[in-house]
Chain A
Amino acid sequence: MEVATDTALPESRRLEREAVVRCQRGDARAFRVLVERYQRLAYSVALGLVGCHDDALDLSQEAFVRAYQHIRLFDPERPFLPWFYQLLRNLCFNHLRARRAQRLQALEEVENGELDVATELDYDPEVIVERNETAQRVWRAIGRLPDKYREIIVLRHFQQLSYTEMAALLFLPLGTVMSRLYHARRALKALLEREQGGDPHEM
């Protein structure tokens, strides 16, 4: 994963800018450079956010399509990733909102009223993390976090982004990144402890 900056990666930034300019002139094939550079990040962040392989694949590809459709609004002098990331997270969050609304409606219709939190997001750990009880428990707990908390946990723990990179992607000051990470980890710890009835380390 890379968040390109002019000083650190001039060559890769130059290629990126060139691709953007060609896309802005209507050359759709030039977009391939950008897609291939960020497809893994896009897919795995989407997977972390929505928790389902097919949806993550579809949403990440849709984000690239929208980026291409709006590429004329983008300033080629700026790094592509933060701009693209805003598209991706909006798509994922809207998708989750729509699915929650659907699920609530379905629940009202059957007058069941019993929301199974473990499957609330189709957050199926079996296909996403290794077959290891602790890993699956942690992944399920991540799936129950509020969207913004889950996002920052995914960026930090599964993408290994630095604080500066997260601040760039989220358009947030560093201090806010740190405090959001604090609240997210605290919420995750509480979820794991509640499930375990004690120390998360002893799972």
Chain B
Amino acid sequence: MKCEEARPLMMALLDGEIEEAQKIDLERHLARCYACAKELEGFRQLKEVTEGVTLMEPESRIWQEYWSRVYNRIERGLGAVLLAVSAAALLIFAGFKAVESLIRDPSLAISLKVAILAAIAGFVLLLLSVVRERLYFWKRDRYRFVR
């Protein structure tokens, strides 16, 4: 066994996670490799030191409030989505109405109407492109944690 193979196994030995066959191989290596045996001793001392460290238990109040806080955030999230969707629907409706009245307005010259409509169409295209890009990255982002 080489030292590189022995190192991860030293962790398993230390944490009581080693298989019997591996343990025999590792002990054989440790018996003739002073550097690894010394390193293992160092890790043993480190483990003793870290085992003496315990996290302080937070106030029990946080567990009582925990679920309601999470639930409130979920609810607020749903509210925000509803608001955004309905605002978008209203904006689109208002946009249609504005375009309709623009086309029907007899006092405006045809060329001016065409220019305004072209500007609106350009804006919508740009917006769609940005939204599509955002959606693409949002999806990729989500898949980072959905394995």
Spell out A's residues near B (CB within 8 Å). Answer: 28-29, 31-32, 35-36, 39-40, 43-44, 47-48, 53, 57, 61-62, 64-65, 68-70, 73-74, 82-83, 86-87, 90, 127-130, 132, 134-135, 138-139, 153, 156-158, 162-163, 171, 175, 178-179, 181-182, 185, 188-189, 192, 199-201, 203
- Known contacts A73-B146, A130-B56; A61/B63 CB under 8 A: no
Do A200 and B70 have beta carbons less than 8 Å apart?
no
Do B50 and A178 have beta carbons less than 8 Å apart?
no
Spell out B's residues near A (CB within 8 Å). Answer: 7-12, 15, 17, 42-43, 45-56, 58, 62-63, 66-67, 69-71, 73-75, 77-78, 142, 144-147
| Shortest beta-carbon distance from B12 to chain A in Å | 6
- Known contacts A32-B67, A178-B11, A179-B8; A200/B145 CB under 8 A: no
CA distance A134 to B63 in the complex (A): 29
* Among candidates A36, A139, A178, A200, residue contacting B8 with C-beta atoms closer than 8 Å: A178
Cβ of B43: which chain A residues have Cβ within 8 Å of it?
A: 185, 189
Interface of A is mostly: helix
CA distance A130 to B144 in the complex (A): 36
- Known contacts A179-B8, A182-B7; A192/B51 CB under 8 A: no
CA distance A70 to B139 in the complex (A): 11
Closest to B8 in A: A178
CA distance A139 to B53 in the complex (A): 8
Do A73 and B142 have beta carbons less than 8 Å apart?
yes
Do A129 and B142 have beta carbons less than 8 Å apart?
no
Cβ of B48: which chain A residues have Cβ within 8 Å of it?
A: 201
CA distance A74 to B142 in the complex (A): 12
CA distance A129 to B17 in the complex (A): 27
Do A129 and B49 have beta carbons less than 8 Å apart?
no
Do B42 and A189 have beta carbons less than 8 Å apart?
yes
- Known contacts A31-B74, A178-B12, A182-B7; A70/B146 CB under 8 A: yes
* Among candidates B15, B45, B52, B69, residue contacting A134 with C-beta atoms closer than 8 Å: B52
Do A57 and B8 have beta carbons less than 8 Å apart?
no
Do B11 and A65 have beta carbons less than 8 Å apart?
no
